[in-house]
Amino acid sequence: MTAALVDGKAFASGLRARIAEAVPAFVAAAGRAPGLAVVIVGDDPASHVYVRAKGRATREAGMESFEHRLPAHAPQADLLNLVEALNADPAVDGILVQLPLPRHMDEAAVIAAIDPDKDVDGFHVVNAGRLAVGAPGMVPCTPLGCLMLLKDRLGDLTGLDAVVIGRSNIVGKPMAQLLIAESCTVTVAHSRTRNLPDLVARADIVVAAVGRPEMIKGEWLKHGATVIDVGINRVPGEEEGKTRLVGDVDFASAAAVAGAITPVPGGVGPMTIAVLLRNTLVAAHARAGLAPPEGF
């Protein structure tokens, strides 16, 4: 392996510590702690793990955590009523509805019901629009976390060629917007792109968020490229009945060519929750009429 390992776990832990240090100043100014409400519908085991981790991280940062659980068969109206109540609750600065939702629910309709100024996931169309035009707003946690890792590693990104593989509303599209705002030359590729290896070969930055285990090969990469792997795919392990996590990048071959690469696990994943806390702190300042917290 020649690539440097981009340690997202360590970066996220530093970010969370800085957020925790900033919370007392908010409490002193606003007379209350920032509040994050997380809503989970159904029994998906992985989602429950993430929601528990979010609650724990919120409390560790000195913020108020409000957790709401609805059964898998709950009607969509119950979820919309809960979101309405959270929109109106002055103790709640951020609202997050854990995805995926059960199949009978319309994710877009639920996201649209969240007050855009409390939308700490940054998924509301108002926030997508704000990001597209360069206006202040809530930015989706995973892509913002990727950008933080890239800037920490590379500094100024101006003029660099970036390929984003994946075009989801949650990662691919906002990632591309963030890189455009940093003056990168951005190509958005996806599972149907015909000449993907050729596009990847030109890129200084590769962000893989396509959801296909180990699809991006080291042989495709430009020597020294920075590779950010957003994929979290569970695949069969070496031992019978065991599984392991892999990214969208074939780590072993990529690490031999890249300049730097995020591992899976321990790369982008931990950044998602750290940036969620950052977004909650930012939302709390805005709702309290305070200037944005510095350094985030």
Ligand X SMILES: Nc1nc2c(c(=O)[nH]1)N[C@@H](CN(C=O)c1ccc(C(=O)N[C@@H](CCC(=O)O)C(=O)O)cc1)CN2
The Cα 113–Cα 282 span in angstroms is 20
If you ran DSSP here, which 8-state letter would residue 7 be given? Answer: -
Nearer to ligand X, 37 or 205 (CB): 37
Residue 199 beta carbon to ligand X: minimum distance, rounded to whole angstroms: 25
Of the candidate residues 27, 80, 201, 245, the single one contacting ligand X (CB under 6 A): 245
The Cα 124–Cα 112 span in angstroms is 6
Nearer to ligand X, 30 or 99 (CB): 99
Residue 290 beta carbon to ligand X: minimum distance, rounded to whole angstroms: 25
Which residues touch 132 (CB under 8 Å, ≥6 apart)? 177
Residue 52 beta carbon to ligand X: minimum distance, rounded to whole angstroms: 11
Beta-bridged to residue 206, according to DSSP, are: 163, 227
Span 83-142, contacts to ligand X by CB under 6 A: 96-99, 121, 141-142
Query: Which residue, among 260, 93, 282, 250, has the nearest Cα to 165 in the 3D structure?
Result: 250
148: helix, coil or strand?
helix
Specify burial of residue 104 (Cβ count, 10 A radius: 0-12, 13-18, 19+). Answer: exposed
Of the candidate residues 79, 164, 230, 232, the single one contacting ligand X (CB under 6 A): 232
Q: Which tokens go with 7?
A: 């340690």
221: helix, coil or strand?
coil
Chain residue at closest Cβ approach to ligand X: 269
The single-letter code of the amino acid at 33 is A
Query: Which residue, among 140, 120, 153, 148, has the nearest Cα to 13 in the 3D structure?
Result: 148
Nearer to ligand X, 117 or 204 (CB): 117
- For the annotated binding site for NADP(+), the residues are 166-168, 232
The Cα 260–Cα 166 span in angstroms is 20
Span 151-210, contacts to ligand X by CB under 6 A: none
Span 255-284, contacts to ligand X by CB under 6 A: 264-266, 269-270, 272-273
Nearer to ligand X, 97 or 254 (CB): 97
Nearer to ligand X, 199 or 277 (CB): 277
**Contact call for residue 227 and ligand X (CB under 6 A):** no
Show the CA angle centred on residue 73, arms to residues 71 and 77, nearest 5°.
Answer: 90
Sheet holding 64-70, edge to edge: 64-70, 35-41, 94-97
Residue 27 beta carbon to ligand X: minimum distance, rounded to whole angstroms: 26
Q: DSSP states of 174-205 as a string?
A: HHHHHHHHTT-EEEEE-TT-TTHHHHHHT-SE
Nearer to ligand X, 202 or 234 (CB): 234
Residue 270 beta carbon to ligand X: minimum distance, rounded to whole angstroms: 5
Active site residues: 54, 98, 121
Provide the mask over 47-66, with x wherever binding to ligand X is found by CB under 6 A and - wherever it is not.
---x----------------
Residue 124 beta carbon to ligand X: minimum distance, rounded to whole angstroms: 12
- Could you list the residues that contact ligand X (CB under 6 A)? 50, 96-99, 121, 141-142, 232, 245, 264-266, 269-270, 272-273
